[in-house]
Structure 1
Amino acid sequence: MSEQSTVLQYADINPAELAGLLGLFQLEICITGETEEIPGSYWGDEEAGLIKSRLYLRTDTPVHSILHEACHYICMDSERRDVLDTNAGADEAEENAVCYLQILLARNLSSISEERLFSDMDAWGYSFRLGSTQAWFEQDANDARSWLLKKGLIYKNNCPKLRLR
């Protein structure tokens, strides 16, 4: 799954801006060494990892991976957050909501455009019925949006509520 040379990485963005955004969700960013295995990483390699409220990454971790794992933390209930270690354990509906929310959260980061996130998600291999992340988000993600609305994580105007489920 490694597409690190073609996607935006943590080293390419403003770390304080990302830490500030994720801090609103009580997530702590923990940077590991360049050659170290990332704790809590489901996919391995340079992919972000989650253990409870700690989001582990390296400077070569893709931004889409960071946002995706952060959104898993945001979307899961408190019982799962309390025991979270590596596997977010989401069902398909929640997984779609996570993908949708990561796109909305990226709007709060000046160093990644929505178009870049779509492209990076496609490069990594996110798979949607319409063939691309952008097409899915714009035309086929009503179920994900509805899930986020029902769980109280976004407003009707698609702005994140900046709270945990």
Structure 2
Amino acid sequence: MTVADLGIDRLRTLLNRFELGVERVADDQSIPGSFWGDAEAGLRGHTLYVRADTPVHSALHEAGHFVCMDDARRRGLDTNAGGDYDEENAVCYWQILAADLLAGHDRARMCAEMDAWGYTFRLGSAAAWFAEDAEDARTWLAEAGLIEPAGTRLRYALRR
């Protein structure tokens, strides 16, 4: 699913609750702050950049980096979100939960999109990882105050 398929206003409404603005880039322009290039979302400061053809999984993954990084990294954010292995897993978990907050999307679709893009998990799929092997990511997010303790819902918060 692309941003055009979903509708940019749905993405904006969700991500504004996390202090992250969403800017649409013209279809014939490169995306500022994109680490991967092509249609992949970009981050600079408190802005997520997308085009119509940007995959929703890319937008939510980069948004997850924004939410999961600390204030010091967020202040200097330009293209490379950085973070370590544990944070990367937390970001993947966060984006799956976030998909449920977008009308027209859900966690099953997000997991399928992650698999199709090439995310790799020990159990072979994003859905299997999320259901059976993501305790470390849930714990990381809960300790950072970003999800409810049960690990099933996001809090509208940023890591500080």
Structure 1 residue 68: Cα displacement? 0.2
Structure 1 segments of 4+ aligned residues over 6 angstroms from their partners:
none
Distance 2:155 2:36 in 1: 28
1:162 match: 156
- How does the TM-score come out when normalised to structure 1? 0.94
Tell me which amino acid in the other structure corresponds to 2:91.
V
Q: Percent identity?
A: 53
Distance 1:106 1:14 in 2: 13
2:16 match: 23
Size of the aligned set, in residue pairs, is 158
Q: Residue deviations 1:8-47, cap 9 Å, x none?
A: 0000013222211100011111111111110000000000
2:134 match: 141
Distance 1:39 1:14 in 2: 20
- How does the TM-score come out when normalised to structure 2? 0.97
Distance 1:76 1:113 in 2: 24
The equivalences for 1:80-119 within 5 A come to: 80-119=73-112
Tell me which amino acid in the other structure corresponds to 1:42.
F
Tell me if the contact between 1:14 and 1:111 (Cα under 8 Å) persists in the aligned partners.
Answer: no
1:5 match: none
Q: Residue deviations 1:55-94, cap 9 Å, x none?
A: 0010000000000000000000000000000000110000
Q: Give the root-mean-square deviation of aligned CA atoms.
A: 0.7
The equivalences for 1:115-126 within 5 A come to: 115-126=108-119
1:61 match: 54
Structure 1 residue 110: Cα displacement? 1.3
- Bigger RCO (CA 8 Å, 6+ sep): 1
- What stretches of structure 2 of length at least 5 have no aligned partner? none
Structure 1 residue 114: Cα displacement? 1.6
Structure 2 SS opposite 1:50? strand
The equivalences for 1:41-80 within 5 A come to: 41-80=34-73
